[in-house]
Amino acid sequence: MSRISPQAHIDPAAEIGEDVTIGPFSAIGPGVEIGDGTVIDANVVVNGPTRIGRHNRIHSFASIGGDPQDLTFKGEPTRLEIGDHNTIFEFVTFNRGTLKQDQLTRIGSHNFIMAYVHIAHDCTVGSHTVLANNTTLAGHVVVEDHAICGGMTAVHQFCRLGAYCYIGHGGATVRDVPPYVMTNDYPQRPRGINKVGLERQGFSAERIRRLREAYKILYRSELNLDEARARLAAFEDPDVQRIVDFLDASQRSILR
């Protein structure tokens, strides 16, 4: 049974699942779908078209599904989709997509999104990520699974953050960051692999050793990028192949 405060405003065109909690003074607009078991605290605004999955927790003063902050946006019915089991803290802002891409901003599942995070139009955030306070993603950014962004991280539009990478706090990221890589400084610079994060995710010592070897080829050898890619492709290792695939897909070039 859902628990909706009489002081919340729910548009008749919104679709609310089972066992949903919505606190006082929250506003749920038309075109919004909220999945079973999701909890929305007081003073949250959700605009549509937006689909929110199951068992999410959205804290007070978040603004979800707002118009894209893009000068070309003319009111088109673009969308935001959020998966399941996400924790979204106070004053977070998620914008819908634009016609420039897939008309969609997409957030995966099991993400931990801290206060004041901004996810702009047309971003794609995977699953099991951590975005610390004040992380700001410009438009069209891709964040892959298990990536971590430190507090006050700014990511330039169209950048891609690879799986299991760690972005140090307070820096500007203006190029793609390959999987497993750890960065810090301002602007961000590569500093090694995300060893602690990989250990927490159950990577064995041997897997980490091979990723360190791959990192040295990519960042500490005198090989150019094409030569380094060829050396990495010869590993025939699935973890290293993820780096190779990332390099092949990179459009902004990698942080190097």
Active site residue 121: yes
Active site residue 122: yes
Q: Residue 103: which of 136, 138, 68 has the closest Cα?
A: 68
Which listed residue (139, 168, 171, 197) is catalytic?
139
Q: Residue 212: which of 190, 245, 188 has the closest Cα?
A: 190
Which listed residue (59, 121, 128, 140) is catalytic?
121
Active site residue 139: yes
Which listed residue (41, 122, 176, 239) is catalytic?
122
Catalytic residue numbers read 121-122, 139
